[in-house]
Amino acid sequence: MTKKLLVATDLDGTLLDHKTYSCEATLPTIARLQARGYPIVFNSSKTLAEQTLLRETLHIRAPFIIENGAAVVIPSGQLDRPARSPNPEIEVFGPPYADLVRQIDRLRQQRGYCFRGFADLSAAELAEITGLSVEGAVAAKQRSGSEPLLWEDSETAYGEFVAAIANRGLQTTRGGRFRHVTAKADKGKALSWLVERYRRAFPQQEWIVVALGDSPNDLPMLRVADIGVSIPNPHRASFEVTGVKNLLQPEQPGPLGWTEAVTHILEERSLNL
């Protein structure tokens, strides 16, 4: 049985620069991974539409995880999907987006919480808040199973909100800029589901899972990986990283830290775990 890496990566603040959204520094390392046939799995708060644009730019074909683990997308020709299948397989772990937004809005009306979700914002407003292009904001609004919130109330109110949505079978996670409402799913559960699909599709391979992220909502995927990489992000509050096997903590933020960590794994640690 041969060993292969499966690299699961967050995007904003990890593979992509927090401010510029550039990933230029990672390109040589991405090429090295691709040359060895190691799948690169995006695992991000970004939507299917957003990730599709970036995947096409980087020539990445592997399945990907969208909206903080709300769904897994398996494109045609990947794993056991026929190459000529017209549509990808999408496994959604929770209620459809429209139902989710209705529940959140109803709670806001009942209790007077102050926040704005993506459903409340125009593409132009979202672009101004995030620094995305208007086209990028349009893609960010095409959601499947999660709603990012710009929280504009107190932390006490947020604690009450978290408890209230938990009673409705939902949860929140904190990303770099927004607080994301999803069903009882996360990046770790979605990654575990996808890795199992890889193991069934390629039983002759031993998959060594590497996960890289910079935010608290990345911890679940770091904890299910064989090697977890916590990327520093000077633009958000620090948090404790616990329960992660073979933890790496590069010094550089964003794409530079991503490259530092993956290069170390490829050259220093190799696959001899």
| Among candidate residues 24, 63, 16, 66, the one with its CA nearest the CA of residue 43 | 66
Angle CA 197–37–222, to nearest 5: 55
Q: What tokens does 141 get?
A: 């609004």
For residue 248, report the phi and psi dihedrals to the nearest 5 degrees: -115, 140
Positions of E strands within 94-178: 115-117, 146-151, 170-174
Query: Is 250 in a helix, a strand, or coil?
Result: coil
Q: Give the strand pairing for 227-230 and 179-183.
A: unpaired
Task: Determine the Cα angle at 186 with ends 88 and 232, to 5°.
Answer: 110
Task: List, as one string, the DSSP characters of 178-239.
Answer: -EEEEES--HHHHHHHHHHHHHHH-TTEEEEEEEEESSGGGHHHHHHSSEEEE---TTS---
Annotated catalytic residue within 10, 186, 214, 218: 10
| Helix or strand holding residue 41 (H, E) | strand 40-42
Active-site annotation holds for 10: yes
Write out the catalytic residue numbers.
10
